[in-house]
Amino acid sequence: MSELRVRFAPSPTGYLHVGGARTALFNWLLAKNKGGTFILRIEDTDVERSTKESVDAILEGMKWLGLDWDEGPVYQSDSFPLYKEYVQKLLDAGKAYKCYCTSEELDAKRNLAMQEGRKPKYDGTCRDRGDHPDGQPYVVRFRAPQGGVTAFDDLIKGVITFPNEELDDLIIQRTDGTPTYNFCVVIDDATMRITTVIRGDDHVNNTPRQIQLYEALGFPVPQFAHVPMILGSDKARLSKRHGATSVIAYRDMGFLPEALLNYLVRLGWSNGDDEIFSRDEMIQKFDIHNVGRSASVFNTEKLLWLNAHYIKNGDPERLAGLLLPHLSSREVTTLGGPDLMAVVKTLQERAQTLVEMADRAVFYYNAPDSYDDAALAKFDKEQVLAVFEVVTEKLSSAPIDAVVVVDALFKEICTEKGWKMGQVGQPVRIALSGGTQAPGIGEIVVTLGIKETLKRISSAREYVTAK
């Protein structure tokens, strides 16, 4: 068998959708698994709808996910002369013909067919026409086989058969001389020697037309794998209505690329009951035959769960780098504050997203400008002041460079004074972070450092005294 060659062929009419990203991922995985070649092709022949911004957004999404391509990006718009050449070949071989029917004529025929309860189909008026009216606009139609069937054995869906009589003589070139979508796809896939076409199953109906073109042009027909759609929770096709659908939106919401990839690979594909797949494991285990036949429902909760897993187990230095833009967008500067990597270590256990982590990291860099009064009110004022005093005294006189040391110190205070841990820890946590949603007290103290810790307790003391 020849070397495996696959492609991802987005139309640049919007951002990279999670559904597109999953199609790209399956292509990429198959190529990596089989030592094949993954090509990125931008299908920009629809000049009206294609934009440079969209190309950039697609490339940005692919790069963020780490879906690196081996060839391309190839732009279809660079191949117009090639398409023309192949249209001419089909015309010369009598496998395509010029059709002079006007759109009014075609509309009238279509309406009549519908009125009579027939399926509208081009009636072949120009199929065997001998004359070529000069100067009259024409389209080029493919002379499609009339009888029999066109069938293919889809790697995901199994054998799919279409009766040829249901397929029109496809227009392959418009009156303005531009080639049409299905024709370009075939010429590209054939000349790029694509061996396996993996794409969304919204393209299933295009496949028999494309196969007929391959056969007419004498090209080998590739294998096809049509991936079922992704649905929203209401079982309608996933769209903006259901929430974010753009890959980059997930980046901005604080998801890690490996979490989104892991989520997407499991959306429709399985390997036993395994849920967690590193990039290498996915590559090793991916088998297109294990992609399910039915559509999958997008589940944000599961994505969050995976993201939390990857944050928890992530390298703190890398996470710190990824967290920085989220802090900058909150106008938080880490300069002069605690080491961001140390901060990450105190937060990665519990954060589901980098956005959540950034929210929780703010207090390390900006001392609280208000306190959670409701939480403070749970304690007696004199008791809180006594806690602040004792804690200040203890912390000032001991080296506090390790979390265990600080934790031990707090335990000691409790034993000496007969206080409960909550009575001591909670007011101090409020003093240091403004609220109660914060890491363990030892972690905060060590990360903030003794000087900043004492300064914050002193401010909180003034605040409580004045109340």
Is 381 within 8 Å of 353 (Cβ atoms)? no
Q: Which of residues 39-78 bind ligand GLU (CB under 6 A)?
A: 43
Contact 332, 365 (CB under 8 A): yes
**Shortest spacing between CB 9 and ligand GLU, in angstroms:** 4
Q: Are 78 and 217 in contact (CB under 8 A)?
A: no
What's the CA angle centered on 122, arms 161 and 157, to 5 degrees?
Answer: 20
Does 11 participate in binding ligand GLU (rule CB under 6 A)?
A: yes
For ligand GLU, the closer CB: 10 or 439: 10
Whole-number Å distance between alpha carbons of 259 and 312: 12
Number of residues that bind ligand GLU (CB under 6 A): 8
Segment contacting ligand GLU by CB under 6 A, of 5-13, 99-107, 428-436, 443-451: 5-13
Residues marked as catalytic: 240
Tokens standing for 424? 């001591």
Q: Does 203 bind ligand GLU (CB under 6 A)?
A: yes
| 461 lines the binding site for ligand GLU (CB under 6 A) | no
Touching ligand GLU, residues 287-326 (CB under 6 A): none
Q: Which ranges of 97-227 would DSSP assign to H, the alpha helix?
A: 103-115, 181-191, 207-217
Gap between the Cα atoms of 349 and 128, Å rounded = 73
| Closer residue to ligand GLU, CB minimum distance, 200 or 449 | 200
**Which range, of 144-152, 169-177, 195-203, 422-430, touches ligand GLU by CB under 6 A?**
195-203
Q: Which residue is nearest to ligand GLU, using beta carbons?
A: 199
* Pick 38 or 365: Cβ nearer ligand GLU: 38
Least distance in Å: CB of 197 to ligand GLU? 6
Is there binding between residue 185 and ligand GLU (CB under 6 A)? yes
Nearer to ligand GLU by Cβ, of 43 and 356: the residue is: 43
* Closer to ligand GLU by Cβ: residue 17 or 326: 17
Q: Which of 5, 6, 9, 50 binds ligand GLU (CB under 6 A)?
A: 9
- C-alpha pair distances (Å), 336 with each of 218, 364, 365, 449: 69, 11, 8, 12
For residue 265, the minimal CB distance to ligand GLU (Å) is: 19
Kindly state whether residue 199 participates in binding ligand GLU, applying the rule CB under 6 A: yes
CB 363 within 8 A of CB 431: no
> Least distance to ligand GLU from the beta carbon of 363, Å?
45
Question: 332 Cβ partners below 8 Å, 6+ apart?
Answer: 358, 361, 362, 365, 366
Considering the complex, what minimum distance in angstroms separates the CB of residue 132 from ligand GLU?
A: 33
Q: CB-based contacts of 394: which residues, under 8 Å, 6+ apart?
A: 409, 412, 413
**Which is closer to ligand GLU, CB of 69 or CB of 364?**
69
Distance CA 41, CA 10 (A): 7
- DSSP secondary structure of 67-125: ---SEEEEEGGGGHHHHHHHHHHHHHTTSEEEE---HHHHHHHHHHHHHTTPPP----T
Residues lying near ligand GLU in the complex (CB under 6 A) are found at 9-11, 43, 185, 199-200, 203
